[in-house]
Chains A and B, each alone.
Chain A
Amino acid sequence: MTAVQGKSAPPRSAGMARGAAPIAAIVVAAAAALPLVLSSYQVGLATEVLIFGILAMSIDILGGFAGRTSLGHGAIFGVSTYVVVYATAQAGLPPAAAFAFGVLAATLIAAIFALLAVRTSGVYFLLLTLALGMIVWGICLRWTQVTGGENGMRGDVRPALLLTHSGFYWAVLAAATIVSYAMWRFVRSPFGLTLRGIRDSESRMRSLGYNVPLHLFIGFTVSGFFAGIAGALYAMFNNFVSPSTVALAQSVEGVLMMIAGGVGTLFGAFVGAAAIIALENLVSAYTERWQMVLGITFILIMVFAPEGMIGKLRVILAHKMR
């Protein structure tokens, strides 16, 4: 564009904050140390937090950065799980090939969703993605020859190397670190900035000459790609899939995790996932009405911290820095 403006430091929003890399390293190291202090059941829970954190992050790419919240990502996530389990159990493929097929399937489904949804926004986008998710759920429920219907499908998906809880956890942690970094670079890239521009004002972006539907299509598909990775990891974690994995409740849970952590904060997704999974498991040990407790907690978050937990943290830190 114009000639080089000056030699001063890059603007705060685009570059990496100065302390970010060491903080990230400390967080990853702490996470890697968890299996040494937690019981194997809790390590399983931590693995779930990572997997659903990736799902919530993928939803955040669209919700936080493109301004379009999707209620169909559970279906995209679940399609990957189904394909991975089917590939292993019925087609006998090795884990790596099954994983690749799962992610591919999820990306394809996301592309199809995207084609239909990119020209809408706001409530319409929400409803359209919800409906598309329901179609996927209906197919998984009724196509019993392939998906097993209500019974679901079982498979020995997890590769032999990763059979222990800790081993699998570290593999998932490595995957989560790489995927988070990839997503972080994606939203920080010029493409990501365009998405943010679309979120802020679609008409302005269009008048500047950007192909808004194409950008949203690519953004949606990339988001689906990451959701597919989460789904494939879930297949390995559970060795089982049923229609509830593609159901609306799964999409809603992903959106809740994103919101609880903080829309647009990206890493808040892990915090949100941790909060919700911890709550589910802790509370359901005491009462079967844990969903009520979840609902009340959510209301409290919305009243006291609508920007999510990480969002609230940022606001507090910003005040302190002043």
Chain B
Amino acid sequence: MDRRQFLKTTAAALATAGAGVAPWRAARAQTDPIKIGLLAPLTGVVASGGKEMVEGVQFYLDQVKNQIAGRKVELVIEDDASNPDTALQKARRLVEQANCHMLIGDLLANTGLAVTNYVKGTGTPYFIPIIAADDLTQRARIKNVIRIAGYSASEFTHPLGDWALKQGYKKIATISQDYTFGHEQCGGLAQVFTEGGGEIVQQFWHPLNTADFSPYLGQLADLKIDAIFAMETGADSTRFIQQYAGFGLKAQTPLLASMNATDQSVIRTLGEECEGLIAPAHFAEGSDNPVTQKFVRDYEAKYGKIPSLYGFSMYSGVMWVAAALEKMDGKVEDREAFIDTVLKTELDGSPLGKSVKLDAYGNPIYDVYIRKVVKRADGKFWNVPLTTYPNVSQFWRYDPEAYMKQPPYSRTYQGIKKT
């Protein structure tokens, strides 16, 4: 057989194969599935969290055999690369090319804000179980952006500020990643702490993806403080915790952290250096609540690791969407009704072991645990609750209208009470 013959036969074979595939394609189009567009940072500084987000969603969909309200679910996953420009591009693709009925996900607040700006124009329902930018459910509220199963950044640091006062801490310094999520977490802590008489001695801000914390740690070591609050996520928290212990600072000053810093996705890879760290959150994988324990056991059985808050939040998020769709007989195309139903749905059966509902601004109300990292019997580390603050909303004990009159937390406004 010469080359021309070979090419002709190959071409003919491929053509018939192509023709053979065509009837299959037509059959699929008839079932009309619910299309969920999942945006997650699969590459970049928070790739560890992003991967868990996808797992959390897939864990839920596997449990319900990929069916919600009698319709098949099609999950389209896109990588936002921990970058707002990419997130915007991918959101456009999911809505305009893949025709997704809703978007869910994103991790970093700046990516979430970019996508929010886009869905403001298209009206696509966008669920943000992980994005914690305060204003999305406060001053800059957009109806179709709903924080189901999520939390606002300062929601958990308000009670932490209170707890710090109760521990007798008088002076705290903060170190944080320099973007909205960091500003808001530090602001939440600073406001409650200073209103109770405490002092924020100094605040350090560093860019995302800082490899070397020694300039900051050096300065922190010199300050006369009772505790340090560190707001870190992803690879930055791993590096920070390691360098914190390595510098000898761990023996010297207690460390309060944001829950992202002591999340499973980070402490899984660490050793003794993460033991004893304190962080506030709604979810504690070491909690003795039986529903939580079952969730953790099942997740560990399937993925071989203890679930992180990213996996848990996305799991609860999809559960919430499914609960709303069940009430609506799966008519996800009716956007107005869909959004209204989601806002009214109270989630039972979440791994938290108690029902969760949204406040009037589309943000959930939780019992917040102050957790500590301890070593499990098998040598792995996890977060165990120390005390609980019940029914904490995004406004803490403030009146919502009065709270929203103050400017949003930013690098320049940290809610610090002037004495």
Contacts and interface: CB of A to CB of B under 8 A. Distances in A.
Contacts of B163: none
Interface in A25-70: 39-42, 44
Interface in A254-290: 281, 284, 288
B207 interface: yes
B179 A242 contact: no
A21 B92 CA distance: 36
19 contacts: A40-B96, A41-B97, A142-B207, A144-B178, A145-B411, A145-B412, A150-B179, A150-B180, A150-B207, A152-B85, A152-B114, A238-B85, A238-B88, A240-B85, A240-B88, A242-B83, A242-B114, A244-B85, A281-B93
Contacts of A244: 83-86
A150 B208 contact: yes
Nearest to B109: A151
Contacts of A141: 207
B79 interface: yes
B43 interface: yes
A239 interface: yes
Interface in B374-419: 410-412
Contacts of B79: 284, 288
B313 interface: no
B42 interface: yes
A39 B207 contact: no
Interface of B: 42-43, 79, 83-86, 88, 92-93, 96-97, 109-110, 113-114, 117, 177-180, 207-208, 410-412
A150 B110 contact: yes
A151 B88 contact: no
A150 B43 CA distance: 17
A144 B411 contact: yes
Interface residues of A, number: 23
Interface of A: 39-42, 44, 141-142, 144-145, 149-152, 154, 238-240, 242, 244-245, 281, 284, 288
B412 A152 contact: no
B279 to A, nearest CB: 22
A260 B353 CA distance: 57
A239 B84 CA distance: 12
Given A41-B97, A44-B92, A144-B411, A154 B179 contact: no
10 closest pairs, A vs B, by CB?
A41-B96, A150-B179, A41-B97, A151-B110, A154-B117, A242-B84, A288-B79, A244-B85, A288-B42, A152-B84
A244 B109 CA distance: 15
A43 to B, nearest CB: 9
A44 B92 CA distance: 9
Given A151-B84, A152-B84, A244-B86, 19 more contacts: A39-B97, A41-B92, A41-B96, A42-B97, A44-B96, A142-B207, A144-B410, A145-B411, A150-B179, A150-B180, A151-B110, A151-B179, A154-B113, A154-B117, A240-B88, A240-B114, A240-B117, A244-B85, A288-B42
Contact of A154 (B109, B114, B208): B114
B113 A151 contact: yes
A150 B96 CA distance: 27
A240 B179 CA distance: 16
Among the interface residues A151, A281, A288, which one has the most CB atoms of the partner chain B within 10 A?
Answer: A151
Contact of A151 (B92, B180, B207): B180
B96 A39 contact: yes
Contacts of B43: 288
Nearest to B84: A242
Contact of A239 (B110, B113, B117, B410): B117
A288 B96 CA distance: 20
A235 to B, nearest CB: 12
A210 to B, nearest CB: 41
A265 to B, nearest CB: 28
Nearest to B412: A145
A245 B92 CA distance: 18
A273 to B, nearest CB: 15
A150 B236 CA distance: 15
A302 B97 CA distance: 32
Contacts of B110: 150-152, 242
A154 B109 CA distance: 13
A151 B115 CA distance: 12
B410 to A, nearest CB: 8
B178 A149 contact: yes
Among the interface residues A144, A149, A284, which one has the most CB atoms of the partner chain B within 10 A?
Answer: A149
Contacts of B412: 145
A8 B96 CA distance: 56
A144 B178 CA distance: 9
A239 B178 CA distance: 23
Among the interface residues B42, B79, B177, which one has the most CB atoms of the partner chain A within 10 A?
Answer: B79
Contacts of B92: 41, 44
A152 B110 CA distance: 7
Contacts of B178: 142, 144, 149-150
A8 B179 CA distance: 67
A288 B79 CA distance: 7
Nearest to A148: B110
B84 A240 contact: yes
A238 B121 CA distance: 12
Among the interface residues A144, A152, A284, which one has the most CB atoms of the partner chain B within 10 A?
Answer: A152
B179 A149 contact: yes
Contacts of A242: 83-85, 110, 114
Nearest to B42: A288
A150 B177 CA distance: 10
Contacts of B177: 150
Contacts of A284: 79
Contacts of B207: 141-142, 150
B99 to A, nearest CB: 10
Nearest to A144: B411
A166 B124 CA distance: 21
A142 B97 CA distance: 35
A167 to B, nearest CB: 15
Contacts of A40: 96
A150 to B, nearest CB: 4
Contacts of B113: 151-152, 154
A238 B86 CA distance: 11
Contacts of B84: 151-152, 240, 242, 244
